[in-house]
Amino acid sequence: MRLGWVAAHLLPPPSEIAHTLLALAGQGLAGHVLVSTARVLAGFVAGAGLAIALGVWVGLSRRAEAVLDPSFQALRAIPSLAWVPLLLLWLGIDEGAKLALIAIGAFFPVYMGVASGLRDVDRKLVEVAEMAGLKPIALARRVLLPAALPAVWTGLRNGLSLAWMFMVAAELIAATRGLGYLLTDGRETGRADIVLAAIVLLALMGKLTDSGMQVLENRWLSWRDTVATR
């Protein structure tokens, strides 16, 4: 850039991006980050909560699996952006459509993690529980869910990172605040530095929340006898 190989207005140097970040910080940058984070968390909680409930049902009931799982697999194959027109029609351009899109993004990885985690529980452990005379609910609580937790957790982590992605998609379409709005704003005003600043913040926030998940994982799944927990 210094050598003039790339035009500075297209790829500004890191120093200028830092500058922009500082300048934006004085103009409500924290508000943008907060709005986006709140959307991601709300959408993630809704999507993941529903996914856990349905995933448990499908994972534990052969009949539910036969009825619901093929439909979910078909829905999963739909590209995220295909939902946008429908959500806009149904929910308008308000907050509802954005949260719904984020929830859809978070739903499928979590659903897959829960359902497959429950299906893959070691039959040998289930037999021990059977010998102990556990009833179905106790079996699910004491054996199936803990055994499925590693897969569930992977699903939650993937779901959270997808929630960030879908948040940007949602905010790019229609938003007046948030990191996605900054991206649009930067593009429309020809400010590559703002676009890059928003991208840097997205990377940072995504990494931050994922690290949080990892800390919890290390705490709750430390019993695993794996390369990671050696």
Partner 1 sequence: MTVNAYPVLDVRVRRKAFSGSEVLRDVHLQLQEGECVTLVGASGCGKSTLLRIAAGLERDYEGQVRLDGQVTAGPTRDIRFVFQEPRLFPWLSVARNVAFDGDGSADAARVEQLLDEVGLAGFGARLPKELSGGQAQRVAIARGLFVQPRVLLLDEPFSAVDAFTRLKLQELLLRVARAHRIAVLMVTHDIDEAVYLGDRVLVFEASPGRITASIAVDVPQPRDRDGPAVGATIAAVRQALQRAHAF
Residues making contact with partner 1 (CB under 8 A): 124-125, 127-128, 130-133, 143, 146-147, 149, 222-225, 229
Retrieve residue 208's tokens. 């931050």
Nearer Cβ to partner 1, position 76 or 224? Answer: 224
Nearer Cβ to partner 1, position 94 or 127? Answer: 127
Q: Tokens 């452990």: give the residue.
A: 125
Shortest distance, CB of residue 157 to partner 1, whole angstroms? 19
* Size of the chain in residues: 230
Nearer Cβ to partner 1, position 30 or 128? Answer: 128
At 135, give phi and psi (nearest 5°): -80, 160
Nearer Cβ to partner 1, position 146 or 206? Answer: 146
Shortest distance, CB of residue 133 to partner 1, whole angstroms? 6
Retrieve residue 128's tokens. 């021990």
Retrieve residue 175's tokens. 């938003």
Nearer Cβ to partner 1, position 94 or 122? Answer: 122
Give one DSSP letter per residue of 157-172, joined into a string: HHHHHHHHHHHHHHHH
Shortest distance, CB of residue 148 to partner 1, whole angstroms? 11
Retrieve residue 44's tokens. 């993630």
Residues 6+ apart with CB under 8 A from 181: 32, 171, 175
Shortest distance, CB of residue 152 to partner 1, whole angstroms? 13
CA distance 188 to 18: 20
Shortest distance, CB of residue 143 to partner 1, whole angstroms? 7
